[in-house]
Amino acid sequence: MVFFHQYYSWKYLFLKLNLSILFSRKHIQEINFKRKNEQTQAGSKLNALEQTWVGLVGKNYEIECAINELEKEVINLRKQRQTNGVNSSEQ
């Protein structure tokens, strides 16, 4: 009778532990699925932000080039005034 009781005690414990393992695995799987979704969404957001950043860097470069061209034009206009005898301080 003791053997019978011990057998079922161990069997019950074994089943209980297996059930606990199943629940733990399911919980881990849910966490991993959630993490993967969050990382995928974050990756999409990072890509969008990177594209925006690249666009802004390109615009800054265009603005810097335009400023450089305008500065060259101002220098050339000042040189033309000087050769035409007009002092830049007069205007």
Q: Is 34 among the domain residues?
A: no
Q: Is 53 among the domain residues?
A: yes
Q: Is 75 among the domain residues?
A: yes
Q: Is 28 among the domain residues?
A: no
Q: Is 60 among the domain residues?
A: yes
- For 17-21, what is the mean pLDDT? 98
Q: What is the pLDDT of residue 91?
A: 54
Q: Is 65 among the domain residues?
A: yes
Q: What is the pLDDT of residue 41?
A: 97
Q: What is the pLDDT of residues 39-64, one digit of tens each?
A: 999 999 999 999 999 999 999 999 99
Q: Is 37 among the domain residues?
A: no
Q: What is the pLDDT of residue 20?
A: 98
Q: Is 56 among the domain residues?
A: yes
Containing structural domain, residue 50:
45-82
Domain count, the chain: 1
- For 58-74, what is the mean pLDDT? 98
Average pLDDT, the chain: 92
Provide CB contacts within 8 A for 19, sequence distance 6+.
none
Give the integer Cα–Cα distance in Å for 21 and 25. 6
